[in-house]
Structure 1
Amino acid sequence: MTVTLIGYDCATQSKKAGLARGTWDGGAVSVEEALVGAKDVAGVLRGWLDDRPEGQPAVLAIDAPLGWPAPMGIALATHAAGDPLPHVANRMFRRATDDFVHRTIGKRSLDVGADRIARTAACALAIVGALRADRRLPLLLEPGPPAGAGVIEVYPAATLKSRGLPTRGYKSKERATAVPARTALLDRLAEEARLPVDRGSMIASDDAFDAAVCVLAAGDFVAGRVHRPPVDLDVETLRREGWIWFGPTV
């Protein structure tokens, strides 16, 4: 089976959005293209989804929160200005998946309920909404090849760290630091995935690089080599908050 894999490193400004596409062939992942700065992000993603062979499954992996903390939504639904909030800050601003990532690999993602990352999340959801205007694109909650096309949330830093790779340096604003760091990471990733001969965009831009890592994360999801939600996490919370899929796992 071949599955189309698409990575989207979301940004509120399209010039900073990283996009990548590839495939999973039942074994290895191939990253075929990575770019940054597309004027019409939804258009590029729509084109890649439409260009895949008829009937071929597809996974769109997005580096942005796709849900908000459940306690936050419940508390704010009836809150009035000046009233105290019923939950401590961490429960209001962090999702179950954010805490799970931190417990598992020691990385703390940004709090979607308290940080400007919320704007990025809103942008990602707007893009997903645009794509859903003419197609079915559900949130996937079960690892493995999907029946059709679906979307998942990923976190490149978690995907890298799960592979024992460094997560610092490659995003540095200092080109002299960032370029060698991204080059070294790509050399390591090339040991497990087929990368384009021309890696220029991924070396020049951390956004294009992260989009390529999103493709790898999508491959982990399709292969089922990802951390699943704890059995005690109820399905309603999972559907409301979403889940960060990362691996690999043995």
Structure 2
Amino acid sequence: MLTAGIDLAAEDANTAVAWIRWSAVGAVLEELVVGAGDDELLRAASAADKAGIDCPLGWPEPFVEFIIAHHHGELAAPTDLIGRDWRRTLAWRRTDVVTHELTGRLSLSVAADRIAHTAMRCAALLARLAEGGQPVDRSGGGTVVEVYPAASLKQWGLPHRGYKGRQNSGALNDLVDGLTSIAPWLQLGAFESACRGSDHAVDAVVAALTARAAAIGQATRPAETDLAAATTEGWIALPTAPLTSLTTASAKG
């Protein structure tokens, strides 16, 4: 099995993509690109059995309806909620709420934060994948699945805060140490130095690991009641088993 992980940003410079090849006994980081352009991202998503993208795959349904109604001058003034409570119903997707309940981490709002710029790029990538014949299912049922590396790290008991940015290089190295200690079967090879020097590289690797969890049924899926929202808004796959279980005998491929 080949999984890909994409740490997506609005611009190429802060975008990273990782390819991990899996066997019955371990995994090898085959390729890692920091500063990845659209063509490299599409190549990864097209070649992989499962590709994890660290970016919202859609916008909150209530927010979309709000924008459409406002655009057409048909917005009805809210009567049941006002102020912050009302805005929160527009700002976060169902998967953001569920992820917060499960991990205590609240995702950035794709409707009200700068991550919207990244999501615009993601939407264009998904459209190109679909045009190329790739099955695109925002709920995670196709090749692509939405991931949240910091939440995955927390689920796996690894450091998940304070490792971003050059000023936190020590914390980033501690994270890589923890990852390689818990998962000695993961061979970073020549790319270990890149992981120690770039949080984007590490997030891409974690995204590829989470894609593996999703591919073998060791990650959350939307409940039946959430499926309709997940299909349009996207759904974050959270690991449900220890990191060590990604290479167990029951994990075929």
Q: State the TM-score, normalized to the length of structure 1.
A: 0.83
> Is the CA contact 1:66–1:121 (under 8 Å) kept in the aligned structure 2?
yes
Match of 1:9 in 2: 7
Note if 1:159 corresponds to 2:152: yes
Distance 2:25 2:222 in 1: 24
Q: Which amino acid aligns with 1:239?
A: T
Kindly state the Cα deviation for residue 179 of structure 1 after the two structures are TM-superposed: 4.2
1:34 to 32, 35, 41: 32
Match of 1:132 in 2: 130
Classify 1:243/1:192 alpha carbon distance in 2 versus 1 (closer, same or farther; 3 Å): farther
Classify 1:132/1:231 alpha carbon distance in 2 versus 1 (closer, same or farther; 3 Å): closer
2:69 to 78, 83, 108: 78
Gaps of 5+ in 1: none
Classify 1:99/1:215 alpha carbon distance in 2 versus 1 (closer, same or farther; 3 Å): same
2:197 to 201, 204, 223: 204
Give percent identity, aligned residues only.
31
Match of 2:177 in 1: 184
Match of 2:238 in 1: 246
Kindly state the Cα deviation for residue 105 of structure 1 after the two structures are TM-superposed: 1.1
Match of 2:56 in 1: 65
> What do the CA deviations read for 1:141-167 (whole angstroms, capped 9, x no partner)?
466xx6xxx211100011100001111
Distance 1:112 1:140 in 2: 15
Q: Which amino acid aligns with 2:128?
A: A
Greater helix proportion: 2
Distance 1:225 1:7 in 2: 16
- What is the number of equivalent residue pairs in this alignment? 235
Match of 1:199, SS state, is helix
Note if 1:104 corresponds to 2:102: yes
Distance 2:107 2:34 in 1: 23
Q: State the TM-score, normalized to the length of structure 2.
A: 0.82
Match of 1:237 in 2: 229
Classify 1:240/1:101 alpha carbon distance in 2 versus 1 (closer, same or farther; 3 Å): same
> What do the CA deviations read for 1:80-103 (whole angstroms, capped 9, x no partner)?
399635661111110110011111
Match of 2:246 in 1: none
Note the aligned Cα RMSD (angstroms): 2.5
Note if 1:123 corresponds to 2:121: yes
> Is the CA contact 1:30–1:193 (under 8 Å) kept in the aligned structure 2?
yes
Match of 1:226 in 2: 219
> Is the CA contact 2:138–2:230 (under 8 Å) kept in the aligned structure 1?
no
